[in-house]
Amino acid sequence: MYYQLTHVLKRRLIRELKESFGRHPKFNKITNWIKDRYSYADVPQFGIVIKNASSSKVQLSPDNFQGSVSSYVKLAGVANFPNTSVEWAREDRQSLDLRQGVFPSPPGIYYIVITSPTTFEVDPLLSANNELLLEAKDNTTTTAYLRNAPIFPNFLQIFNGGFLMRPNIDYTIDIATGVVTFINPPPQGSVVRANYFYPAQTRGPFNITTNYFDNEAIPGVILAFGARVQQVAPEGQTVLDKQAVIISRERDETALEFGGHWETSFNFDCIARDPMQLEEIADYTLMTLWGEKKNQLELEGITIQDISHGGEAEEEYDSVTGDLWYTSTMSITFRSDWMIWTPLPFTVSRISNVSATTSQLSQMTDQQLANLQSSLQLVPSVAAYVVPPRGAYDFERIS
């Protein structure tokens, strides 16, 4: 984590210096010579070199615990795949703000399919919840239609009132057309609803940039790709990797957040062959970082705590001519936030059906219903949804 944070802050410092000097009418050419360490083939007329860094953490609590994270978005693994290409998935808060808090993508399971080391596709399996299937006006209706087809059969649930109907006992389903046929017509006044998943059109391909993010493939979701994007397909598979982003209808607790502050100091040299130019470059560097960039960076959680001049020095530039090269050492200290999200497992319950059919239940008295021995069982099955490369949550869609 130390090198990752340090590298990000160093790149940001270089970027901000280039932006500032790029607007300077006299020293705009220096932008080509603002670099990390001394990597010049030839010593330029002027430049800025970031030399070294040191860091220390600021602990805000004994175990760095900050709180729990609630989100619409979870990242899950898919069985038989490495599950390492997407490092994390989170809500795009800006996208939600633009829609007054309404999540822009419908609930469901969105498969991230890594088709090559530089491209991926999104294969959605959307969720239909509590869809009205039938309001029985009489006792003769035997057919109803799901709004979306084909469907994924293993996740289909049909309820008559509050009772779960049983496939091939209470109804049959044509997964290709979404036609539901009731073996016994639901009694008059019955309200039948369905929960199921159905596939949507595949999206992509989208480009993968290592150590960067994508916020376009799934509206409302930020996908972060690190350095572990798979290069070769696992044995028996035709794609390199596959993971699932689960979008729920409401926010759930998805992770525990641990974090704090990190103080990082950089030493850098302003260099020039003209001592007057050196003074101008050093002063402009201090003024633009402290006076202009400080407030801008604080909006992103990066605080410039201190910036100061060190000593000056001169080195021999050309032993033949005796030309000198002048340097002014400066130091800057940043305070930035760091956080780690530890995913929480979620529980999936298996529900067994009641032993009586819905038609039998509709004919029972209240006392008989109260005395009915139900075979409903909830069997918890705990699986972590973001734990690559540990266990995977086995979501798979229809082909």
The ranges of the chain annotated as CATH 3.30.2000.30 are: 2-61+259-341
Instruction: Give yes or no for a contact between 10 and 265, defined as CB atoms under 8 angstroms apart.
Output: no
Where do we find the tokens 């869809």?
131
The pLDDT score that the predictor gives to residue 194 is: 92
Q: Which two tokens stand for residue 4?
A: 């990752």
Question: Helix (H, G, I), strand (E, B), or coil: what is residue 104?
Answer: coil
Percent of the chain with pLDDT over 70: 83
Give the pTM: 0.68
The pLDDT score that the predictor gives to residue 40 is: 56
Give the chain's mean pLDDT: 82
The pLDDT score that the predictor gives to residue 333 is: 93
Residue of higher predicted confidence among 317 and 263: 263
* β-bridge partners, 34: 48
Displacement of CA 193 from its chain's centroid (Å): 33
**What's the DSSP call for residue 292?**
I
The predicted-structure confidence for 135-183, as pLDDT tens digits, reads as follows: 988 888 889 999 998 988 778 899 998 788 888 899 999 989 999 999 9
* β-bridge partners, 86: 225
Where do we find the tokens 């704090």?
260
Q: Which two tokens stand for residue 67?
A: 């709180």
**HSE value, Cβ hemisphere, 13 Å, CA-based, for 293:** 25
pLDDT of 35 strictly over 70: yes
The predicted-structure confidence for 376-390, as pLDDT tens digits, reads as follows: 444 443 333 333 333
pLDDT of 195 strictly over 50: yes
pLDDT of 19 strictly over 70: yes
- Domain 2-61+259-341 in CATH 3.40.50.410? The answer is no
